[in-house]
Structure 1
Amino acid sequence: MTAHSFGIVLAVAALGMFSANVLLIKQASMRVGLELGFLVSVSVNVVFCALLLAGQLLLSGTGIGWSWQAALFFMLGGAFSTYLGRWFFFEAVVRMGSSKASLFQVSSPGFAALIAWAALGETLSPPRTGAIVFTILGLALIGYVPGMFSRGQRAGPAPVRPRLTDRIKGSALMLGAGGSMAYAIGTVVRGAAIRDWNQPIVGALLGAATGLLLSLALGREVRGLPASLRAADRRGLLLFVACGVLTISAQVCSIWSLRYIEVALSNLITLSTPLLVIPGGYYLFAQREVLSARTWMGGAMVLAGVAVLTLAR
């Protein structure tokens, strides 16, 4: 097997685990609050990845070396992907459903190409530039809701201006675009790190630990965490534990694939979750998730744009 083929296999494995995670989030969030589930999932990321690292050290019998620059990039990738990206994505799944949220997520390679052009000097050909624009238009079409730009009529005193986080949670477009952008930035910095320091498990652990620290520092349920865990639905907690195992395993495979294939190609494969989630979502949530013709059209535009972005030169 060539190095390129091995990278494709790793990315496909990550795709399968990310897709299973999307479907589990929807079920888990029906039983346990999203913020508590997020903390459980990220905590499991750290614990499970630490076990993987211990196994690697035991089996290899060698050290891991060290690169401060790569370690910093892995931590930065964790801040964007493990914390910001997952926060946006979890909120999007609960608000829009797993199928629509996954269609948003697959636009991330378009943002990754733009960031790589700006930060790494990678040039964009006219076909790739057009594909990015086409992808973003599809993204906007998915998130558009009739009347979302109308002001409407106010009755009585003006309402209190909501906080920024509340406005973000209330906007499908902001949730989807924010998650895609965060995942794109995380992928680019992780790609730079893994090519300098080939330690995908350590990189995933550093990212997960960074995401957990940010969650504990910025989360609102931290003080009441022990009581919340005791009162939470046990099946829901186990589902979020499974989400944690799936996401960190997928991240290890995704980071490792960046060593052998292009960032855009790896990102395209690992985030093409609608290919698996949409059929699974209809099977599991047939009465809860109904996709309109506009959503299908936007999703087709996103998938077509990302395909052109990856294949064009």
Structure 2
Amino acid sequence: MKQRDLFELLLLAALWGASFLFMRLGAADFGPLALAALRVAIAAAVLLPLLLWRGEWAAMHRHWKPIALVGIVNSALPFLAYAYAALSINAGLASIFNATSPLWAALIAWAWLGDRLTPPRVLGLAIGFVGVIWLAWDKASFKPGAEAVGFAVLACLGATLMYGLGASMSKKWLAGVPPMATATGSQLAAAVLLLPLGLGAWPAQPAPPLAWGAVIALGVLSTGLAYLLYFRLIAHVGPANAIAVTFLIPLFAVLWGGLFLGERLTLTMLGGGALILLGTSLATGFWRPGARQSPR
């Protein structure tokens, strides 16, 4: 991996880690629907001029159907789920659940695309989902007065399932499509779906400047710029290397949450997160015990 690609990987992890902070700052004032709608609308407004400047409108138009479907599955639905979860659980915990995305991706790729599951990958899936169960068992509660936390955990896991499905859809239908076309088209499709819903659920009270700043940063930095970086990395270093961002996002999310929201990293979050990241590294083939590394 070149230095430029490594820098973009770290920047992407920092931006996606910050998305959990921005959602925590904006969810209560805007509500999940309006927040998710603004996020994709702002991202689309940022990316569309760049797409036109690069002359890739034709590529997006040519593949608009699969791009739109990926946009709904990989952006609209998970963004809405995470905006809902941000009302009840902190940024660090949500980001740790987000790290299960490659586990779902590996499982769906095996079931749908016929990807081979080697013994280490099966072990990784098992370890990763043990970590999920550990975290969910500790945090999820459906007792009266605490059921919001339980549903928030389910929302996070539903979002990561959508991310896993979106990865296989992109691999099957969008291979070779320019990254800018995929990034822009997916956010446009998500905006078309969510904007009417978001306007219908617009908050009665005006949101404060801090919430507006958070949602603008969420749309411009953690969505528009982040998705462009993500699809660039896939094109430059391949999906297997780009998925390494998953291991870094929780580190940045916990850092931002601790610095700006005073959130604490508990032992349960640390233990469950470690199992999830260990399982993910095995399930994706990012870590292969006993494999010899070729000299660089």
Shorter-chain TM-score range: 0.7 to 0.9
2:207 to 227, 232, 239: 232
Residue ranges of structure 1 left out of the alignment (5+ in a row): 58-62, 153-166
> Which residue of 2 is the match for residue 85 of structure 1?
78
Is 2:181 aligned against 1:202?
yes
Cα deviation, residue 271, structure 1:
6.2
- The number of residues matched between the two structures is 284
Cα deviation, residue 122, structure 1:
1.5
Cα deviation, residue 97, structure 1:
0.6
Q: Which has the larger radius of gyration?
A: 1
1:66 counterpart SS class:
helix
Superimposed CA distance per residue, residues 153-198 of structure 1 (whole angstroms, 9 cap, x where no aligned partner): xxxxxxxxxxxxxx8874243122111111112223234455322x
Task: Measure the CA separation in 2 of the matches of 1:18 and 1:35.
Answer: 20
Cα deviation, residue 39, structure 1:
1.8
- Superposition map of 1:29-108 within 5 A: 29-57=27-55, 65-66=58-59, 70-108=63-101
Is 2:251 aligned against 1:275?
yes
Residue 53 of structure 1 aligns with an amino acid whose one-letter code is L
Q: Could you say if the C-alpha distance between residues 259 and 191 of structure 1 is closer, same or farther in structure 2, counting changes exceeding 3 Å?
A: farther
Task: Measure the CA separation in 2 of the matches of 1:262 and 1:28.
Answer: 34
Cα deviation, residue 40, structure 1:
1.5
> Which residue of 1 is the match for residue 154 of structure 2?
174
Task: Measure the CA separation in 1 of the matches of 2:86 and 2:241.
Answer: 24
1:231 counterpart SS class:
coil
Q: Could you say if the C-alpha distance between residues 210 and 283 of structure 1 is closer, same or farther in structure 2, counting changes exceeding 3 Å?
A: same
Percent identical residues? 21
2:134 to 141, 145, 149: 141
CA contact (8 A) 1:194 1:259 kept: no
Q: Could you say if the C-alpha distance between residues 238 and 280 of structure 1 is closer, same or farther in structure 2, counting changes exceeding 3 Å?
A: closer
Cα deviation, residue 130, structure 1:
0.7
> Which residue of 1 is the match for residue 109 of structure 2?
116
Task: Measure the CA separation in 2 of the matches of 1:105 and 1:121.
Answer: 24
Residue 292 of structure 1 aligns with an amino acid whose one-letter code is T
Q: Could you say if the C-alpha distance between residues 307 and 258 of structure 1 is closer, same or farther in structure 2, counting changes exceeding 3 Å?
A: same
CA contact (8 A) 2:85 2:152 kept: yes
Cα deviation, residue 94, structure 1:
2.5
Residue ranges of structure 2 left out of the alignment (5+ in a row): 292-296
CA contact (8 A) 2:99 2:277 kept: yes
Residue 40 of structure 2 aligns with an amino acid whose one-letter code is V
Is 2:5 aligned against 1:26?
no
Cα deviation, residue 305, structure 1:
1.2
- Superposition map of 1:213-228 within 5 A: 213-217=192-196, 219=197, 221-223=198-200, 225=202, 228=203
CA contact (8 A) 2:134 2:272 kept: yes
Residue 239 of structure 2 aligns with an amino acid whose one-letter code is V
- Superposition map of 1:250-265 within 5 A: 250-265=226-241
Q: Could you say if the C-alpha distance between residues 281 and 6 of structure 1 is closer, same or farther in structure 2, counting changes exceeding 3 Å?
A: same
Give the aligned CA root-mean-square deviation in angstroms. Answer: 2.9
Q: Could you say if the C-alpha distance between residues 64 and 51 of structure 1 is closer, same or farther in structure 2, counting changes exceeding 3 Å?
A: closer
Q: TM-score when scaled to structure 2?
A: 0.83
Superimposed CA distance per residue, residues 254-278 of structure 1 (whole angstroms, 9 cap, x where no aligned partner): 1222224443442341463111111
Task: Measure the CA separation in 2 of the matches of 1:207 and 1:249.
Answer: 13
Residue 215 of structure 2 aligns with an amino acid whose one-letter code is F
Task: Measure the CA separation in 1 of the matches of 2:201 and 2:172.
Answer: 38
Task: Measure the CA separation in 1 of the matches of 2:62 and 2:148.
Answer: 33
2:251 counterpart SS class:
helix
Task: Measure the CA separation in 1 of the matches of 2:111 and 2:4.
Answer: 28
Cα deviation, residue 35, structure 1:
2.5
Task: Measure the CA separation in 2 of the matches of 1:240 and 1:224.
Answer: 16
Task: Measure the CA separation in 1 of the matches of 2:14 and 2:39.
Answer: 18
CA contact (8 A) 1:139 1:302 kept: yes
Q: Could you say if the C-alpha distance between residues 209 and 168 of structure 1 is closer, same or farther in structure 2, counting changes exceeding 3 Å?
A: farther
1:259 counterpart SS class:
helix
Cα deviation, residue 141, structure 1:
1.2
